[in-house]
Amino acid sequence: MDPFGSDSAFTEEDEQKPRMKLSMSPIVLSHLGDCCPHGSLEHTGERYDVKNHRTFLKRTKYESLHLEDLFVGNKITVFSRHLSLVDYGDQYTARKLGSRKERTLALIKPDAMPRIGEIIDIIINAGFTITKAKMMVLSRKEAADFYIDHQSKPFYNELLQFITSGPIVAMEILGDDAVCKWKTLLEPANSAVAQTDALDSIRANFGHDGLRNAAHGPDSVASAAQELELFFPSSGGRGPVNSAKFTNCTCCIIKPHAVNEGLAGKIIKAIISEGFQISALQMFNMERANVEEFFEIYKGVVAEYVEMVTELCSGPCIAMEIIQPEPPKVFRDFCGPSDPEIARHLRPGTLRAVFGKNKIQNAVHCTDLPEDGLLEIRYGSPMDRDSHKFWCWKFSWLDPALGRGEVMSYDKR
């Protein structure tokens, strides 16, 4: 008998613990009318040892997780543990949540790279969740694989030449009816036509013609899955190489709180508007051990070191390579003082003054020492890990429109 009743489950691998379950229950306490149509939520969690059939951690509060975070493929952090959600715990939840959410590819083409911040902001404001993002450069073979359906078209070679002419940004975006909704934001295919017939579309505002039309979106759920596999392989491959130049550069990381608050597009736009070039970009989750190593120079120097580490490993972040003459100093000045309150008084136009909340959640990390710029860029994303241990994390939700349901997840530790 399932000890969680109708609750849902996630499973996660851990190097030190046996197979476990965690039940997370955002419970709707009350309806607050039009000001808060979804009511207020009480978040509780319980950990259960599946192998030995015993409770490992009694139900306790955990307020950082929300219903919108619970979708297959997402990476979340629960009590400092990083989990990948891979399946639903029952058919009811699969029907209620799975049918609501689709994934599709949002690809920003070379001609629209100076406007990536604005396009990302449109994506976020349209209600999509960006679950993966990477700036990359396609080889001709990769471009041919991507445009295989256009091989017989007269513009095929021109298409390959254009898409390989510079970096692109590929994103996996998640949302209700995502394939159709993203195509609606893009269309029509020819930017020249869009500038007459669809003035508010992405291609009308950021594209030029039928070839240089700013962005791409798959036509169907099946083609979306196929194209996402090319850029973000599920088999463990890395996909196309990133666009990092590793020269005359500095590092900027958009912190998890800013990503979760939907500020990524605005921050990227501000960076580009200031004259900086973003030469590489990638979204990823960092393990605590990796963050501690990354922030090692601040240990024993900055009083907020522990809180800084906790913030950076609390969710997805976006790391960028910034190119500019004498970049560490110039870009550091643009980021502003680490305390946003001080920044708002002394440097009101800086990134931290505009987007930061406090010394920990100050929107961005940037390289402080000139000699560390290349080191931080090369640091990269967390290393892959292997494990034979499993944890099972169990999340339940209760929504006035959807009822109660479950989700199942496996995560390597």
Question: Hey, is 52 helix, strand or coil?
Answer: coil
Residue 377 to residue 193: CA distance in whole angstroms: 41
Residues across the chain: 413
Q: What is the DSSP letter of 114?
A: G
Q: What is the DSSP letter of 355?
A: H
* Burial class (CB within 10 angstroms; exposed 0-12, middle 13-18, buried 19+) of 1: exposed
Secondary structure class of 41 (helix, strand, coil): strand
Name 1's Cβ contacts closer than 8 Å, sequence gap at least 6: none
Tokens coding 6:
């109708």
β-strand 102-108 against 54-61: which pairing, if any?
Answer: unpaired
Per the CB < 8 A criterion, the answer to whether 246 and 379 are in contact is no
Fill in the DSSP letter of residue 402: T
Backbone φ and ψ for 253, nearest 5 degrees, come out as -120, 120
Report yes or no: 251 and 322 within 8 Å, Cβ to Cβ. yes
What single-letter DSSP state applies at residue 353?
A: H
Contact 95, 86 (CB under 8 A): no
CA dist., res. 242 & res. 395, Å (int): 35
Please identify which of the residues 43, 82, 216, 257 carries the catalytic annotation. 216
Strand partners, 46: 23
- 49 three-state secondary structure: strand
Task: Decide: 153 and 189 in contact? Cβ < 8 Å.
Answer: no
Q: Report CA 81 to chain centroid distance, whole Å.
A: 17
| 216 among known catalytic residues | yes
Annotated catalytic sites, by residue? 216
